[in-house]
């Protein structure tokens, strides 16, 4: 899910698609373009993608970030983007692509599940809540739209088991949208606060270590049953991490984290 400013939304390619609109699409191993879309990609990873992929691979989020991602800070942005690092071969293949298809299929990233739909949060005037928009954007080589099967946004999300990913990405996009202005008070995104925000959202295992071994629990009250959950539940920890970022970057109060 991308954060889209109202002035750029109309320049996006693809067909705008709303609830109830139908589109044709089918992807299957017998199709002529099978796996072509898993190469040479700018594949954005969102925090919940990292949680699911590192669990699927049986590694820590630290190792996942070292081994599989590129962290890119674009000019004028105040939080980096995280992209899956493509293999170093001629076709820049996704590292999870095998001859049989996607090796992480049950845990594939949100973008792969939602494809050929792309969701975005469209921001209008300052202070107005963002509006969710969706585009049907298969690349030209994709033969899926020539198949006869029809979908709506709802039935496609159901079929691709994308609802949890979409929900988590929506939460992330709302938080990422808050970084439209510089919150770092001169430290920049690579300063201590910026690194903390990155850890709390993208590196859940390091964040758990921080939570349990630093002075955090002396400074903030977290309910016992919640803490027990955070010790073992990566998704709960990620949601907690997002609240923590809102609290320590912008001072937004959280029911989950109260100063002592």
What part of residues 157-216 is at the interface with ligand SF4 (CB under 6 A)?
A: none
The sign of the dihedral angle between the CA atoms of 119, 168, 164, 29 is positive
- Confirm if 258 and 248 have CB atoms less than 8 A apart: no
Of 61 and 242, the one with the shorter C-beta distance to ligand SF4 is 61
Burial 105-130 (b: 16+ CB within 10 A, else e): eebbbbbbbbbbbbbbbbbeeeeeeb
Q: How far is the CB of 174 from ligand SF4 (least distance, A)?
A: 24
Q: How far is the CB of 32 from ligand SF4 (least distance, A)?
A: 8
* Cis ω before 116 (30° cut-off from 0): yes
What part of residues 67-86 is at the interface with ligand SF4 (CB under 6 A)?
A: none
What part of residues 99-118 is at the interface with ligand SF4 (CB under 6 A)?
A: 102, 104, 108-109, 112, 115
- Confirm if 154 and 31 have CB atoms less than 8 A apart: no
Task: Say how far apart CA 56 and CA 9 lie, in whole Å.
Answer: 34
Task: Say how far apart CA 2 and CA 77 lie, in whole Å.
Answer: 14
**Residue in 14, 16, 22, 33 binding ligand SF4, rule: CB under 6 A:** 33
> Of 15-23, 27-35, 183-191, 210-218, which segment contacts ligand SF4 by CB under 6 A?
27-35
Structure-block tokens of residue 194: 């910026």
**97 near ligand SF4 (CB under 6 A):** yes
Q: How far is the CB of 48 from ligand SF4 (least distance, A)?
A: 14
Contacts with ligand SF4, 126-165, as mask; x by CB under 6 A: ------------x---xxx---------------------
Q: Given the rule CB under 6 A, which residues bind ligand SF4? A: 27, 31, 33-38, 43, 94, 96-97, 102, 104, 108-109, 112, 115, 138, 142-144
């Amino acid at each position: 899910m991308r954060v889209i400013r109202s002035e750029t939304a109309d320049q996006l390619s693809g067909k705008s698609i709303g609830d109830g609109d139908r589109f044709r699409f089918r992807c299957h191993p017998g199709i002529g373009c099978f796996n072509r879309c898993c190469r040479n990609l700018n594949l954005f990873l969102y925090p919940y993608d990292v949680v699911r992929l590192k669990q699927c691979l049986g590694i820590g989020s630290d190792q996942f970030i070292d081994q599989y991602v590129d962290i890119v800070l674009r000019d004028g942005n105040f939080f980096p983007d995280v992209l899956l690092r493509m293999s170093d071969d001629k076709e820049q293949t996704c590292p999870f692509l095998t001859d049989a298809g996607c090796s992480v299929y049950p845990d594939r990233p949100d973008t792969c599940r939602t494809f050929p739909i792309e969701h975005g949060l469209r921001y209008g005037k300052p202070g107005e809540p963002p509006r969710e928009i969706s585009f049907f954007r298969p690349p030209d080589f994709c033969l899926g739209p020539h198949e006869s099967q029809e979908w709506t946004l709802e039935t496609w999300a159901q079929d691709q088991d994308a609802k949890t990913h979409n929900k988590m990405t929506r939460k992330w996009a709302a938080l990422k949208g808050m970084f439209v202005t510089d919150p770092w008070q001169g430290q920049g995104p690579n300063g201590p606060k910026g690194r903390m925000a990155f850890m709390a959202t993208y590196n859940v295992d390091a964040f758990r270590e921080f939570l349990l071994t630093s002075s955090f629990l002396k400074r903030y009250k977290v309910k016992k049953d919640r803490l027990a959950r955070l010790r073992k539940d990566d998704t709960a920890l990620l949601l907690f991490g997002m609240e923590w970022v809102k609290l320590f970057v912008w001072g937004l109060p959280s029911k989950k984290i109260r100063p002592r």
